[in-house]
Amino acid sequence: MELGFFDGEFIDLKERRVLLEDRGYQFGDGIYEATHVYNGKCFALDRHLARCRRSLRELRIPITYMDEELTAIHNDLIQKSGVKNGVIYFQITRGVAKRNHAFPDSVVPLLSMTIRESKTNTKWQEEGIHCTLFEDIRWLRCDIKSLNLLGNVLAKQASHDKNVQGTIQYRKDTNLITEGSSSNFFVVKDGVIWTHPISNLILKGVTRSILVEKIIPSLGYTLVEKAFTPEFAKSADEAFATSTSLEVTPVVHLEDATIGNGKPGDVTKSLLAAYHDLVKKECGSLS
């Protein structure tokens, strides 16, 4: 069952509620997180909550929802909805106030959440996906998981328009790849794994952090956190995208180029297997 949480109450998702002067609705003035539920348990919720707090701090939205409370609502949503495998989305906006760009004098941040069943696309993981390249036209604080997603929306639509599964963005001024429309991006070349360094130009993905901090060192691979060009990516041996929903998904075509032999590579497959092992360890099973 799909379920929502709005302003302190659990609600049926069909009972859609929006407060007209919620600053999230009018300005995109808020932040969000999306967490994967496996086997009725949230994976890596602590990392998502830490990023949520950072996003709030960066936007100067008061932190009024403590981790314990957010964790309890996540668990209640899972229990009340009966969802075993799915995604929990939550957003916290600066709250409701008469429309004016500057922060209101007093605000009560507003939390809303949804839970839905969803399945990881295992076909994409087994066969790899095709991606298009798209100019990264987003603002210069992509490190904040803000509700303002129009740049990401236009980037993702480019892949739909071209009938491919994903979009990889690059900055025109530097000709350097940043990340996907809602994922981080990696390539493997000559046995070395490359990804864009943490900066204001990318989101520090939870999946990326788990790979960088735990999985890549444990498998003994070398990681280079350095930006690279689309041409470099096209000539890579392997490429993959990471996110809460994609986990580790191989990218086998980039625009007009075939990556490696057009099949998911061994490094990518080993990273996905290790990621699944971590999920099983934390959540008991993958489904």
Whether the CB-CB separation of 61 and 109 falls below 8 Å is answered with: yes
Minimum CB–partner distance for residue 244 and ligand PDD (Å):
3
Quote the CA–CA distance of 82 and 66 in Å, as a whole number: 24
Nearest residue (CB) to ligand PDD, 81 versus 146: 146
Minimum CB–partner distance for residue 183 and ligand PDD (Å):
5
Identified binder of ligand PDD from the candidate list 22, 29, 136, 179, rule CB under 6 A: 179
Task: Name which of 217, 287, 219 is nearest 247 in CA terms.
Answer: 287
Nearest residue (CB) to ligand PDD, 100 versus 122: 122
**Residue least distant from ligand PDD (Cβ):** 205
Quote the CA–CA distance of 78 and 21 in Å, as a whole number: 29
Whether the CB-CB separation of 262 and 250 falls below 8 Å is answered with: no
Residue 16 sits at φ, ψ, to 5 deg, of -75, 135
Identified binder of ligand PDD from the candidate list 34, 176, 278, 286, rule CB under 6 A: 34
Task: Name which of 31, 228, 207 is nearest 113 in CA terms.
Answer: 31
Catalytic residues: 145
Give residues 116-175 in contact with ligand PDD (rule: CB under 6 A). Answer: 152
Minimum CB–partner distance for residue 190 and ligand PDD (Å):
25
Residue 114 sits at φ, ψ, to 5 deg, of -140, 155
Residues in binding contact with ligand PDD, number by CB under 6 A: 15
Identified binder of ligand PDD from the candidate list 159, 182, 195, 249, rule CB under 6 A: 182
- Residue 244 as a binder of ligand PDD (CB under 6 A): the answer is yes
CA 100, 104, 105, 108 dihedral sign is positive
Quote the CA–CA distance of 222 and 6 in Å, as a whole number: 45
Among the listed ranges 13-21, 219-227, 239-247, 273-281, the one in contact with ligand PDD (CB under 6 A) is 239-247
What is the CA 87 to chain-centroid distance, rounded?
A: 11
Alpha-carbon dihedral angle through residues 113, 144, 45, 16, given to the nearest 10 degrees:
10
Whether the CB-CB separation of 251 and 243 falls below 8 Å is answered with: no
- Residue 245 as a binder of ligand PDD (CB under 6 A): the answer is yes
Nearest residue (CB) to ligand PDD, 107 versus 286: 286
What mask of x and - would describe binding to ligand PDD in positions 82 to 121, judged by CB under 6 A?
Answer: ----------------------------------------
Nearest residue (CB) to ligand PDD, 72 versus 139: 139
- Residue 178 as a binder of ligand PDD (CB under 6 A): the answer is no
Mutual angle of helices 67-81 and 45-59, in 10-degree steps: 130
Which residues would be at the binding site for ligand PDD (CB under 6 A)? 34, 152, 179, 182-184, 203, 205-208, 242-245
